[in-house]
Structure 1
Amino acid sequence: MSDWSHIIVRSILFMLVLFFFTKILGKKQISEISFFEYISGITIGSVAGEVIMGLDSNMGHGILAIFLFGIITFLVDFISLKSNSFRDFVEGKGTIFIKDGKIMEDNLKKEKYSTDELGSLLRQRSVFNVADVEFAVLEPTGDLSVLLKKENRPITAKDLNMKIASDKVPQMIIRDGDIVHDALAAAGKTRKWLDLELEKLNVTIDNVFYGQVDSYGELTVDLFDDKIQVPSPQTRPLLMAMLKKCQADLEIFALETESEAAKQMYNKNAKKLNEAIQILSPYLNN
């Protein structure tokens, strides 16, 4: 075999070997990694590159080396799950950079970070003022976790005692003009329902590039032809408008009637309908 043939065969073989070991070691190997995983990944990649390009080297020795490093990495991860002290030694601990709003200068020096680098990490978290930070810790992966002071945190619905509808996972039910049947079933919808919704939008499945059912069971679509405007779902706003109109009509009937019994009945039902509107508002308001 020629040198080119050797390189092609070795490249394909080691690609399969590396893929196999990556699948065994798990997704953690391709996410934010620890010191040991970083070293292990570099070494395995270097061994694979050396064997692929080193035509005089023994291919079996390279596979053996990758196998050994893969086994060691797997064992280290396994032991780390069982032992906190071992995990702290291998992966390291988080380092506090800001505590109670004060920068920990000694910890910055220990991790060899400058104030400019700290500022850069904060800006990556959309924090531009150090004085806004209550607590910040450098994670073993190199990420900076930031907790803002309470007065600088975004207001949540819980802070305002507002009821918010719980969300369900949106389901992509149309992809490149084809129905994703598993997602359609997961959304609790049928093909008949999908056909009716597409008919309301005056589009066909073949014209839909992307279709998704949201948390409220409404269908939104994106067409191949971007010039065509598709109306947004109006089911919830229309239902809310109808409920408010009914409640207003009951109040008007109560004002117009001369019968005291009818007036009480209209006011009573208007009050009940208003209570129902308050309960349903988180679900029906966009």
Structure 2
Amino acid sequence: MPSWIAVSLKTLLAIAILFLLTRLLGKRQVTQLSPFEYITGITIGSVAATIPLETDGTWHLGIVSLVVWSAVAIGIGFMQLKSKKAREWVDGKPTVLIKNGKVLDDNLKKERLTIDELMSQLRNKNIFNVADVEFAVIEHNGMINALVKNEYQPLTPKKVGLKVENGEEPHLVVEDGSILDEELARRGLNRGWLQTELEKQGVALENVFLAQVDSDGQLYLDLYDDQIQIQPPQEKAKLLATLKKCEADLEMFGLSTKDKRAKKVYEQCSNQLQRVIDEIKPQLIS
């Protein structure tokens, strides 16, 4: 057999075995790998690369090496799933680097981190002031996670006492100019609704690259021609303005009437409508 054919066949075999072994080892991003997993990946790749080039009849030993490495990695992974001590022994423990805005110098030296490296990772998380950090820890994969103090955290509906409904996943209803009827049906919509929405924005279906319906029933469009600017729908803003006008009218009627009974009714209706506006306003301004 010619050498180039032998090398080609062994290369294809190595690729197949490597593909199978990587599927068995599981899915991890590079940034999520532990030191042992990182070394295992490099070693398996290096051994697989040498298999096709072995010409002395011992190339099959490389496959044995691959299987052994993978078996050891799978076994250690199984131990980690079953035992917390095994996880700590293989991956190590997370180390606290900042506590209550104070950098723990000894832990920083233990992890062989400089203050510049620490600040760099904090800036990647949009944290520029160490004093703003309540707690920061370096994980076993070298990533630094930080929790800022409560006064510096973003404002959420829960913090201001607002209740919002859970949103549904967006549905892609047009892809490359073709309507996805199944996705429309999942959202409880049809082609007639889609055509009406496209006509509102003055867009033809053949010009739509993709269209997506969000949890509020709003249609997002992306056209083939990026120079065309689409005005966002204003239905929510119009509804909020109408509700505010109605509430203002009720309040004005209450102030202008001299009938005490009618004044009381207007005031009650105005207050009820104001509560409705406060409740749905987060959805209407999103």
Superposed CA deviations along residues 69-94 of structure 1, whole A, max 9, x for unmatched, are: 22222222122111110111112111
Indicate the residue corresponding to 1:123 in structure 2: 123
Structure 1 distance, partners of 2:105, 2:255, is 71
Tell me if the contact between 1:22 and 1:29 (Cα under 8 Å) persists in the aligned partners: no
Quote how far apart the aligned CAs of 1:257 are: 4.8
**Helix, strand or coil for the counterpart of 2:242?**
helix
Deviations 1:126-146 (A, max 9, x none): 222223323211100110011
Q: Read off the aligned partner of 1:76 and give its amino acid letter.
A: I
Aligned residue runs from structure 1 range 157-196, under 5 A:
157-196=157-196
How far apart, CA to CA, are the structure 1 residues paired with 2:7 and 2:205? 46
Opposite residue 281 of structure 1, the aligned amino acid is: K
Distance across 1 between alignment mates of 2:175 and 2:266: 50
Residue type of the partner of 1:226? Answer: D
Q: Which amino acid aligns with 1:205?
A: L
Partner of 2:85: 85
The one-letter amino acid of 1:61's match is L
Q: With the length of structure 1 as denominator, give the TM-score of the two structures.
A: 0.86
Give the Å deviation of 1:182: 4.9
- What SS class does the counterpart of residue 112 from structure 2 fall into? coil
Would the aligned equivalents of 1:168 and 1:214 in 2 still touch at CA under 8 Å? Answer: yes
* 1:12 paired residue number: 12
1:93-104 paired onto structure 2 within 5 Å: 93-104=93-104
Give the corresponding residue for 1:35: 35
Instruction: Sort the Cα spacing of 1:176 and 1:57 in 2 relative to 1 into closer, same or farther, 3 A.
Output: farther
- Aligned residue for 1:23? 23
In 1: Cα distance, 2:271 partner to 2:140 partner: 57
Of the structure 1 ranges 78-87 and 63-72, higher mean CA displacement relative to structure 2 is found in 63-72
- Structure 1 gap ranges (5+): none
**AA paired with 1:96?**
V
Deviates more, 1:245-254 or 1:93-102: 245-254
| Contact 1:163–1:282 under 8 Å retained in 2 | no
Identity %: 43
C-alpha RMSD of the superposition: 2.6
- Take 1:123 and 1:222, find their aligned partners in 2: how far apart are those partners? 33
Q: 1:256 Cα deviation (Å)?
A: 4.9
Unaligned runs of 5+ in 2: none
Q: Is the 8 A contact 2:176 2:208 kept in 1?
A: yes
1:189 partner amino acid: L
- Counterpart residue number, 1:134: 134
For the residues of structure 2 that align with 1:143 and 1:46, how far apart are their CA atoms? 26
Judged with a 3 Å threshold, the aligned counterparts in structure 2 of structure 1 residues 113 and 260 are, in CA distance, closer, same or farther, namely closer
More off after superposition, 193-202 vs 150-159: 150-159
1:59 Cα deviation from its structure 2 partner:
4.6
8 A Cα contact 1:165 1:282, kept in partner:
no
**1:129 and 1:195 mapped to 2: Cα distance?**
51
CA distance in 1, matches of 2:148, 2:253: 53
Residue number in structure 1 paired with 2:44? 44
| Structure 1 residue 3: Cα displacement | 4.3
> How far apart are the structure 2 equivalents of 1:260 and 1:217?
43
- Shifted more, 62-71 versus 211-220: the winner is 62-71
Structure 1 residues 221 and 77: alpha-carbon distance in aligned structure 2, compared to 1, 3 A threshold: same
Match status 1:72 vs 2:55: no
CA distance, structure 2, for counterparts of residue 48 and residue 19 of structure 1 = 11
TM-score normalized with structure 2 length: 0.86
Q: Name the structure 2 match of 1:113.
A: 113
